[in-house]
A and B are shown apart, each in its own frame.
Chain A
Amino acid sequence: MRDIDPLFQAISYYRRRKFEQCVEVTSTLLEKNPNDQVAWLLKMRALTEQLYVDETEVADDGLADMLDDNAFHQTPMPGTSMRQPTAITNTGMSGPSPAMRPTTMTGRPITGMLRLNSQSTQGGKSMENALKTARTAATARPVTTATGRFVRLGTASMLSTPDGPFLQVGRLNLPKYAQNQAVSRSLFEHLFYHANDVRAALQLATHANEVYQNKDWWWLAQLGKCYHRLDMFRDSEKQYVISLEIQPMVDTYLYLSRIYLRLDQPLLSITKLQEGLEKFPFEPCLIQAIARIHEGLNDMKQSIEHYRQVLKLDNTNIEAIACIAANHFYYEQPEISLKFYRRLLQMGVATSAIFTNIALCCFHAQQYDMIVACFLKALGCATTDDERAEIWYNIGEMALYTADIHLAIQCFRLALVHNNDHAEAYNNLGLVELQRDNNEIGQIYLQTAQSLAPHMFEPYYNYGKSMYEQGDLQSSFRAIKSSLDIYKNHADSKHIYDELRKMFSEL
């Protein structure tokens, strides 16, 4: 039987997204005839596809970004900046209070879904704070800069072609390729994603823009992307805006909103996205982006509203369902939350987190028969130790609410076995020990929790309170002060603080 034409086979592989085989076939083709442009192009695209990332989702803010001064205002008005997440939380009216809804390491209410940036949203409070935040297993902020991720991608590309890089980037005649319509775009993507040589990509894009006299939206957007990657936000913004004038595109709007977020202007970002929505009224991505920004601003009501709109357009959007469910859960409506989580389960998202959440909802909705089964299932699905720790922690929490102290202690210990950095478990263990009048052990647990999670006010408050009751007012005062630093409207902390101040100032 005759073989298929190798070129056809390569194209077929490419179509079926079997990029490795495609690269193999095209490599043999290129060995036979190094000037085979079709094979060359195909190989290039296959290599690119292997490492393609959705640029609209990528945003790793590194620790070094703390130093940047791109933020428009250094001391922004509350509610207009991501840098002041606490401004709204603490009024307790619009945002959920930290006592009712746990916060992430950077002081934001926890979201319904773990995604890039939901752990470390733009710009924590200050450099000092970011450095202080404990870097535990689930670190608050990657230490490397934004380029860290891309350097890794770059080395990955070396791996995929063991006999040296596919293209000698330095030897490419970029102006010549820029002329060639058929090749230039693929080459750009290759340079940008695979070779991770943003400078070369930028050169190519500039040449191409000269060729097209700045009339081609795609090249303009790519130019913007290059500038974005190089952290030249204002230049990038300019390119995106021109590109949008020529041809409105959803992606470009998303890129532009990202730029404004980096410049710490969330409200402008929302406006741009809404402009985009006028052009593309049925685009869930845009609405989802708006919802995320509102979430970052602690405006849960708006955020949920937008997530609901997303669901109307795309009723299988996992993120929207999860966020709405989480919100209902924290607003004491576990029954509704349960429905949403069940929907997720029906869609086939069967992770341990979902099962845990369902179990918790069942518990709070008093459907006691399902709880154990769900937790068992969750433990079965759990793949990492972190997940197991969370599950055991939640079981312990449940035991706590049924006042079964011994079971609670066992569960929290198990959580700590799986994840030794679980600050919440330490805190609860400390509380339980205090409840049993083992003051010293309890205080040690609380201190451990403090050192592990400087973003939680609970261990500080608990420690301060127990010290206050014991009469060690100095330690109490310090702990209460830290508690108030984290959550400045906590009524009970304030009460103790005032009492202590009164005692100290009396002669």
Chain B
Amino acid sequence: MAMTKAAVPPSILKPSAGLVGAPKWPNDLASIDKYNWLLHVMYGRGEYDRIQQFIRSQSQKNSYMTYIQALVHRQEGRIVEALDLFQTCVIENPSLLNIKQVAKSLALLGRYRAAIDAYKEALTRTSTEWEIFHNLGLCYMQLREFTEAKQYLLQALQISEIQEASYLALGKIYMLEGARDEAEAIFERGARRNPESPTIFTQIGLLAFERAHYTKAFECFGTALTFCPTHTPAIMAACQVIQKHGDADVALSKYRIVYGRKPECAQVWNNIGMCFFSKKKFVAAVSCLKRANYLAPFELYILYNLALVHLYLQQNASAAIFLQSAIRLNRKHAPSYALLGVALSKLNDPENALRAYTYSLKLNPTDPMTLLNYAIFQTNTGVSKSIIDTTLQQFYQSYTERASSLNQRELDASMLEIAGKLVAPISGTVSQSTYEPLPLPKPAVPAQQEQADVPSTFVFSPRKPAEVKANGEDVVPNNPAPEIPMVKTKIFDDGRHRRQRGKALPTLPSHPDPAQNDGQDESTVF
């Protein structure tokens, strides 16, 4: 500040210090616009208070002052005031710039229809500015009218091909529409024009990752990271790839960087937890996942992973409860039902386990993992051989389908082995062969996570209990008041849950339960 004070002599800031000299022609253009340079400089330096002070001290306002004042208001987050001032600007001088600013203010206030009208007004004055088209596209995107949005964004790209933002917005629309090929094409185009944009490269990488093109994905993340070594989404995504390769230590060291920047990011904790899990450090894994769950109680994948870890630790009841929560969040999540089937069969509840399996298969009839577990379950409950065989056939079928469509690494080859064991012993001694070591869950299918610019998408969960109040001195004489707390355990209200938890059948298999083959677990990227 000291420097700026030296740069701008204080006399200028005094009321009409300079204007006193020119009282004759108060509307003289020269005297009114005399200090526009100063306003410009001050705005550039971000000295908003001084601008306000200066403008207040002037006897009359010119349009540039109004304009600058509006900009200052917008910078300080008072958009309604800014809009008012910009509108007065437009009334004084309906130039393109002013109209654009009005439109932009409207868009910032969330009044997209009005903003679109304003931008269209601006379009009547010029049609060679990509910004207008781009912003129109964004407004339509907010209104979920994707065809118009795409059209305008493409027009923006026709006028100028450089801007990164248009490519990103267009790609995002394609992603929202589920057109991944177009999205990828757009991103590739963007990357050609912007070879140093970490965001675009991260997007391309994520798309490649989804299709299991891991080397390409990794290259893209690498490019992104060379240009911006602290680009958090890229680090996260790169870690996913590393984790996928089973290199948990490297991934952990990378997560440390992310942790330093975002200590309260549930996704990071989730992924760290899964790293520990693949290193077989279960206590650490559980506590990391717990923390993730605390930070984001409504994240499905965290609950799913927690259940997985607990299942692995033979804490089947806990696993079942976590799965219930997961199912409550998304009633159509087939893997959760499959896992619940495993948990319930371990809890000696074959009836409900069967229901869980069938429901899961109804939701997703081609998941090899579910089919295999179902087959194991059938073997253990002594279902007739032919039915098991059909299940196994389905399994082989879907397995080969997967194997042909996906990268080999995506599927766990040990599944085949287990299936082979199931098929082989036609005579007796079936169940002995079924407990195989759990294949380590390979971390991280990033599962169509939106990589939007919305910050990590969980609404922050509230604080932990403000519970800790041990009132040392005045110990309450505990009078056993006959209270009637109505603890409604709504858990059982819902039909499906009752079905699953049902009464535990006391009968049945004394032989060791099947292990299951849940080779996947998702950890979410952003």
**What chain B residues lie within 8 Å of A329 (beta carbons)?**
468
CB A58 to nearest CB in B, in angstroms, measures 12
Instruction: Please determine whether B483 and A379 come into contact, CB atoms closer than 8 angstroms.
Output: yes
Instruction: Please determine whether B453 and A499 come into contact, CB atoms closer than 8 angstroms.
Output: yes
Q: Is A112 an interface residue (CB 8 A)?
A: yes
CB A161 to nearest CB in B, in angstroms, measures 26
- Mask for B271-304, Cβ within 8 A of A = 1, else 0? 0000000000000000100110111011000010
**What chain B residues lie within 8 Å of A477 (beta carbons)?**
77
Question: Which of B80, B261, B310, B480 contacts A380, CB < 8 Å?
Answer: B480
CB A442 to nearest CB in B, in angstroms, measures 9
- Mask for B425-469, Cβ within 8 A of A = 1, else 0? 000000000000000000000000000011110011111111111
Q: Which of chain B's residues has its CB closest to A366's CB? A: B318
CB A476 to nearest CB in B, in angstroms, measures 9
| Count of residues in B whose CB is under 8 Å from the partner chain | 69
**What chain B residues lie within 8 Å of A428 (beta carbons)?**
462
Instruction: Please determine whether A473 and B463 come into contact, CB atoms closer than 8 angstroms.
Output: no
Rounded to whole angstroms, the CA-CA distance of A350 and B476 in the bound complex is 7
Q: Which of chain A's residues has its CB closest to B263's CB? A: A92
Q: Is B29 an interface residue (CB 8 A)?
A: no
CB B184 to nearest CB in A, in angstroms, measures 25
Q: Which of chain B's residues has its CB closest to A500's CB? A: B77
Q: Is B337 an interface residue (CB 8 A)?
A: no
- Mask for A413-427, Cβ within 8 A of B = 1, else 0? 000000000001001
Instruction: Please determine whether A353 and B468 come into contact, CB atoms closer than 8 angstroms.
Output: yes
23 pairs, A vs B, C-beta closer than 8 Å: A92-B263, A112-B468, A113-B472, A319-B472, A330-B464, A351-B475, A353-B471, A356-B465, A360-B465, A366-B318, A368-B318, A368-B321, A380-B478, A380-B480, A400-B297, A402-B325, A403-B329, A466-B459, A471-B109, A474-B109, A492-B455, A492-B456, A504-B79
Q: Is B345 an interface residue (CB 8 A)?
A: no
Q: Is A470 an interface residue (CB 8 A)?
A: yes
List the one stretch of B154-162, B350-358, B372-380, B487-495 in contact with chain A.
B487-495
Q: Which of chain B's residues has its CB closest to A402's CB? A: B325
Chain B interface residues (CB < 8 Å from chain A): 74-75, 77-80, 101, 104, 108-110, 112, 142, 261-265, 287, 290-291, 293-295, 297-298, 303, 310, 315, 317-318, 321, 324-326, 328-329, 453-456, 459-473, 475-476, 478, 480-483, 485, 487-491
Rounded to whole angstroms, the CA-CA distance of A353 and B468 in the bound complex is 7
Instruction: Please determine whether A326 and B261 come into contact, CB atoms closer than 8 angstroms.
Output: no
CB B254 to nearest CB in A, in angstroms, measures 17
Given A319-B472, A344-B470, A397-B465, A470 contacting B264 (CB threshold 8 A): no
Instruction: Please determine whether B459 and A379 come into contact, CB atoms closer than 8 angstroms.
Output: no
Chain A interface residues (CB < 8 Å from chain B): 92, 97, 99-102, 110-115, 318-319, 322, 326, 329-330, 332-333, 344, 348-354, 356-357, 360, 364, 366, 368, 372, 375-376, 379-381, 383, 387, 390, 393-395, 397, 399-407, 410, 424, 427-428, 431, 434-435, 456, 458, 461-462, 465-466, 468-474, 477-478, 481, 490-492, 495-496, 499-501, 503-507
Q: Which of chain A's residues has its CB closest to B306's CB? A: A366
Rounded to whole angstroms, the CA-CA distance of A501 and B76 in the bound complex is 9
Instruction: Please determine whether B108 and A353 come into contact, CB atoms closer than 8 angstroms.
Output: no
Instruction: Please determine whether B463 and A353 come into contact, CB atoms closer than 8 angstroms.
Output: no
Leading 5 A-B pairs by shortest Cβ distance: A471-B110, A477-B77, A495-B455, A491-B262, A322-B470
**What chain A residues lie within 8 Å of B461 (beta carbons)?**
400, 431
Rounded to whole angstroms, the CA-CA distance of A320 and B478 in the bound complex is 22
Question: Which of B77, B291, B459, B465 contacts A394, CB < 8 Å?
Answer: B465
Instruction: Please determine whether B467 and A472 come into contact, CB atoms closer than 8 angstroms.
Output: no
Q: Which of chain B's residues has its CB closest to A456's CB? A: B463
Q: Which of chain A's residues has its CB closest to B455's CB? A: A495
Given A322-B472, A477-B77, A462 contacting B459 (CB threshold 8 A): yes
Q: Which of chain A's residues has its CB closest to B327's CB? A: A403
Instruction: Please determine whether B262 and A114 come into contact, CB atoms closer than 8 angstroms.
Output: no
CB A91 to nearest CB in B, in angstroms, measures 10
CB B58 to nearest CB in A, in angstroms, measures 24
